[in-house]
């Protein structure tokens, strides 16, 4: 049996059934951006969860993170059949739930930057948020690592959906630039500096509020933050946004080069 899902659920977890069957077009830029905003919360809380444990350097020796704990379990409930979930381990066990038929939005592609995310996470992120000592909480630390990695991966690969939406808004222009393999021009065209600035300001406020222990009466005044605000903002500035844009450029190059003139005309008619 194949379960039906008319639209890609954007707010609930995608490997569950959709609550969003009544949304006409779940792929407008505004809707997609609202998912990115919600994922900010997921990422900040995942980092806070990880930061309660020490760095425990030894768990990052080759092979240590390749365990079948949460990844295996979530695979069984079809997490990685969802078009915005990319597993860090393989091979994956077969899901025990029937497959969901997701509405096709993305063009076929095999863009996957999980190796880069893993490298950056291990060498530049977890080292910033955790105290550098060993507290023996290896299992808990690794479990929280998987949560952080999976949330970051989902956010960054969401760039494909954003890119497809942008492509449909300006198909001729993206096809032309992709035809010239002009990555820089595509990068400029997809960049929205106002959105990025607002995002970083919002993130600063969220990290400040979510990171508080609330052991002081007045909100916003707590001196005990569970994670440094600057680390969260820099994480986005240095890694999350640039990697999302890299995914977007990769996707748009492939998308534009493969699109036929007939397809471009049809898209332009749908989204004048």
Ligand X SMILES: O=C(O)C(=O)C[C@]1(C(=O)O)C=C[C@@H](O)C=C1
Residues identified as active-site: 33, 155, 166, 192, 196, 244, 248
Burial of 63 (0-12, 13-18, 19+ CB in 10 A): exposed
Return the residue of 23, 36, 77, 209 that touches ligand X, per CB under 6 A: 36
* Shortest distance (Å) from residue 214 CB to ligand X: 29
* Shortest distance (Å) from residue 177 CB to ligand X: 16
Return the residue of 195, 214, 265, 266 that touches ligand X, per CB under 6 A: 195
158/5 Cα distance (integer angstroms)? 19
Please work out the total of residues on this chain that contact ligand X, with binding judged by CB under 6 A. 13
121-160 footprint of ligand X as x/- string (CB under 6 A): ----------------------------------------
Q: Which residue is nearest to ligand X (CB)?
A: 244
Q: Based on the shown chain and the rule CB under 6 A, indicate whether residue 241 belongs to the binding site for ligand X.
A: yes
List all residues 6 or more positions away from 56 whose beta carbon is below 8 Å from its beta carbon. Answer: 130, 134, 135, 136, 137, 138, 141
Per the structure block, which two tokens stand in for 193?
Answer: 């500096």
Per the structure block, which two tokens stand in for 187?
Answer: 């990068």
List all residues 6 or more positions away from 2 whose beta carbon is below 8 Å from its beta carbon. Answer: 98, 99, 100, 101
* Shortest distance (Å) from residue 9 CB to ligand X: 19
**Region for residue 34 given its phi and psi (left: phi exceeds 0; alpha: psi -120 to 50; beta: otherwise):** alpha
Interface contacts to ligand X, rule CB under 6 A: 33, 36, 162, 190-192, 195-196, 199, 241, 244-245, 248
């Amino acid at each position: 049996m194949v379960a039906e899902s008319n639209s890609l659920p954007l707010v609930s977890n995608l490997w569950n059934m959709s609550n969003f069957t009544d949304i006409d077009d779940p792929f407008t830029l505004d809707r997609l951006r609202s998912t990115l905003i919600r994922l900010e919360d997921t990422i900040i809380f995942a980092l806070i969860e990880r930061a309660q444990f020490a760095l425990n350097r030894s768990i990052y020796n080759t092979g240590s993170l390749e365990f079948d704990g949460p990844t295996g379990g979530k695979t069984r409930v079809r997490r990685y059949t969802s078009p915005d979930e990319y597993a860090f381990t393989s091979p994956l066990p077969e899901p025990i739930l029937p497959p969901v038929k997701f509405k096709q939005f993305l063009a076929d592609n095999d863009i996957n930057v999980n190796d880069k995310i893993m490298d950056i996470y291990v060498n530049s992120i977890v080292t910033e948020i955790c105290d550098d000592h060993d507290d023996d909480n290896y299992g808990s630390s690794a479990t929280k690592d998987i949560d952080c990695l999976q949330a970051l991966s989902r956010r960054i690969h969401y760039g494909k959906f954003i890119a497809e939406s942008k492509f449909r808004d300006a198909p001729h222009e993206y096809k032309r630039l992709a035809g010239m393999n002009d990555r820089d021009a595509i990068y400029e065209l997809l960049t929205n500096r106002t959105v990025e600035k607002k995002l970083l300001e919002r993130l600063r406020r969220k990290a400040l509020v979510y990171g508080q222990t609330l052991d002081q009466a007045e909100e916003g005044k707590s001196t005990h933050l569970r994670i440094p605000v600057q680390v969260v903002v820099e994480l986005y500035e240095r890694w999350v946004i640039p990697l999302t844009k890299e995914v977007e450029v990769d996707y748009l190059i492939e998308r534009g080069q493969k699109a036929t003139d007939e397809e471009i005309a049809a898209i332009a008619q749908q989204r004048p």
